[in-house]
Structure 1
């Protein structure tokens, strides 16, 4: 797991070596295990690790590469959160997966499963995204793995699919009456 040493030391990534030393000394005195009032061995260890990395020019350059990658991932996460279409699209994919598994169960109640690769192909959802949706549907109890390892819709999943279908039908009827 990535630890943001700049945030830990409450300094800018542009901080010079004197600033790093000054801040480290302040936190070291505050969190040193010998300090009976504010001592915290775990926090002191984290601060010492951050200091040792950032004070060494070679280690700092290596760390800064990781730091920039982390910032990029965080920025991408924030961008995706801001995009409300992503969550809507997720709902559509999950409904599509439930529908596929619903129809498969209805067509052959004794052999209701669909494999991961076939679900990927049929849903048009790439593997790295499909895993999230399958995890969610499984955690909700709407799908499960059958004896042969394939995914199949559960009774709860059928109830969910039916409820969604009734809601969609009601919405369409309401939109056509106005």
Structure 2
């Protein structure tokens, strides 16, 4: 797991060696295990590790490469979180999945499940994109994996699908 040493030491990646040493001494005294009031051995170890990497010019240059890559991943995360269309797309995928499972259960109550590969094919969505939706919908109790390993809608899922259909119908009727 990547640890942001700059964040840990509360300094800028552009901080000079004097700033690094000053901040290190402050945190080292604060978190040293001998400090009765604020000592924290785990935090002290992290501070020492960060200091040892950032004070060495070669190690710091290598670390900075990883830091920039990690910062790029954070930027992607922020951009995706800012895109409301992403959340809307997720809602559409979840609604389609619930609808498929609803129809399958209604058509064949004794064999209500759909396999993972078939779900991917029917939704046109690869497994890695479905994992979040499957996790969420299982946690909400809307779907479950049944005895034969397939995924089926639950009673809660039927209620959810039904309430979504009513809401969509009333919106269309109001908009007419």
Common fold: TM-score over 0.5 = yes
**Normalising by the residue count of structure 1, what TM-score does the alignment of the two structures yield?**
0.93
Residue by residue, what CA displacement relative to the aligned partner does 1:43-91 show, whole Å, maximum 9, x if unpaired?
2111001101111223222222221121111111111111111111111
Cα shift at 1:118 = 1.3
Cα shift at 1:27 = 1.5
CA distance in 1, matches of 2:137, 2:3: 32
CA distance in 2, matches of 1:166, 1:112: 23
SS of 1:71 mapped into structure 2: helix
Matched, 1:4 2:4: yes
CA distance in 1, matches of 2:103, 2:37: 65
Which position in structure 2 is the counterpart of 1:33? 33
Backbone CA RMSD of aligned residues: 1.3
Which position in structure 2 is the counterpart of 1:44? 44
Structure 2 counterparts to residues 55-94 of structure 1, below 5 A: 55-94=55-94
**Normalising by the residue count of structure 2, what TM-score does the alignment of the two structures yield?**
0.94
Gaps of 5+ in 2: none
SS of 2:76 mapped into structure 1: helix
Structure 2 counterparts to residues 17-166 of structure 1, below 5 A: 17-166=17-166
Q: When the two structures are aligned, how many residues end up with a matched partner? A: 176
SS of 1:75 mapped into structure 2: helix
After superposing the two structures, state which structure 1 stretch, 58-67 or 150-159, moved more. Answer: 58-67
Cα shift at 1:21 = 1.9
